[in-house]
Amino acid sequence: MGNRNSLPATPAGVSATDERAYWRAEADRHAKERNSFYQKSQEAYKARRGAEAKQLSNQGKAADRAMMSANQKAAEAAFRGNNCSRVRDSDTVDLHDLYVEEAVSRLQKRLDDGQKEGLEHLVVIVGQGHHSAGGVQRIRPAAEQLLRERGLAFMPGRPNAGCLWVELPAAAPAPRGLFARVKAFLRRLFPAGGCGMFAAGYGG
């Protein structure tokens, strides 16, 4: 069945704008196949056709893996399409067209990267739920929950409806190594550089 960690390639005839929709459709198809295999597996098991039940179950697992791969491709296409034009807007991340878990994962990474980059704030575009089933917002509550868990202050509706303005604290400095701490201690003892090994440049 090949490497489970490898993702399928997008067919040559699928344009970049259609890539997300293509892979979501593929994911739905694999999900239906998975459900069908599992149902047939249960029926075979109840009829005491053990070997057939196991084979159908394995086919269901393969379809499930294919579904997850297709959704991953769809998420990558959606995120790339919504954010590739924001190269200059490094303080903005657009989570449109993602499932909740996909959005939370990418927001987590962008928050980490933003702090490392020294950003003072991050504008998170979560949408207003117009494209969700029943018009119910799903990404925004999950994003807000993540921000609360990280202890980050945020303001909904800034700069526009469907956005969250997140304040980013400065990243904590990297822990100093033992030698660096000893070196700093000795420099305090010998502020004029009287410690021979440091005066000679030992240990850089």
Characterize 58-86 residue by residue with b for buried, 16 or more Cβ atoms within 10 angstroms of its Cβ, and e for exposed.
ebbebbbebbebbbebbbbbbbebbbeee
Predicted confidence (pLDDT) per residue in 37-85, tens digit: 999 999 999 999 999 999 999 999 999 999 999 999 999 999 999 998 6
Once rounded to an integer, what is the mean pLDDT over residues 96-123?
Answer: 95
Look up residue 116 and give its two tokens: 């490392």
pLDDT, residue 7, reads 76
More confident residue, 195 or 181: 181
Tell me the C-alpha distance between 1 and 103, whole Å.
29
CA dihedral over 184, 190, 192, 195, signed as positive or negative: negative
Predicted confidence (pLDDT) per residue in 122-148, tens digit: 999 998 866 666 667 899 999 999 999
Predicted confidence (pLDDT) per residue in 10-31, tens digit: 988 898 889 999 999 999 999 9
Give the neighbor-by-neighbor strand order of the sheet with 92-94: 92-94, 121-125, 163-167, 154-156
pLDDT, residue 90, reads 77
Q: Which long-range contacts (CB under 8 A, 24 or more apart) does 83-88 make?
A: none
Confidence band for 36, pLDDT divided at 50, 70 and 90:
very high
pLDDT reading at 201 higher than 90 = no
Residues forming a β-bridge with 122 = 166
Element (H, E) at 92: strand 92-94
Predicted structure pTM score: 0.74
More confident residue, 117 or 132: 117
pLDDT, residue 2, reads 44
| Averaged pLDDT score across all residues of the chain | 84
pLDDT reading at 113 higher than 90 = yes
